Amino acid sequence: MERLVKTKEDEIIKLIKDRDYKSIRHFAQSMDMNGTNVWRNVKGFQPINLNIAFRYAKALHVPIDEIMRLFRPDDVAELNRNIARYKKELEDKRIEEEVLYGKG
């Protein structure tokens, strides 16, 4: 019986296998990378950097944001919070200018 709750690791392994790679080792070899390092990335023991993220995205034929969501979810969440905060600041500034200067 299949587990109902999938972990990030399960999602990554499924993505790799869905792209016709037999294993993580096969995936690593296709990119001339060390299989142990890729396995450590998948397990979350070793975070990926942006260069590796782009290599994974290219090899798996997925957008970079999907790779970042899977491998660096905390960074993506922080980025989304910063974007939301910046949008709110812009909106607040626009409203302030409308009130002060009658723009709009």
Residues 14, 51: one domain?
yes
Task: Name which of 64, 72, 25 is nearest 48 in CA terms.
Answer: 72
Q: Which residue has the tokens 């302030």?
A: 96
Q: What is the DSSP string of the chain?
A: ---SSPPHHHHHHHHHHHTT-SSHHHHHHHTT--HHHHHHHHHTSS---HHHHHHHHHHHT--HHHHHHHH-HHHHHHHHHHHHHHHHHHHHHHHHHHHHH---
23-59 pLDDT per residue, tens: 999 999 999 999 999 999 999 898 898 899 999 999 9
Residues 41, 89: one domain?
no
Residues 58, 98: one domain?
no
Q: Residue 64: which CATH number? A: 1.10.260.40
Q: What is the pLDDT of residue 102?
A: 76
Residues 50, 3: one domain?
yes
57-83 pLDDT per residue, tens: 999 999 998 999 899 888 888 888 989
For the chain, the domain total comes to 2
Instruction: Tell me the mean pLDDT in the region 89-102.
Output: 86
Q: What angle do helix axes 64-71 and 73-101 make, rounded to 10 degrees?
A: 110
Residues 66, 78: one domain?
no
| pTM listed for this prediction | 0.70
Its domain, for residue 9, covers 1-71
Residues 23, 56: one domain?
yes
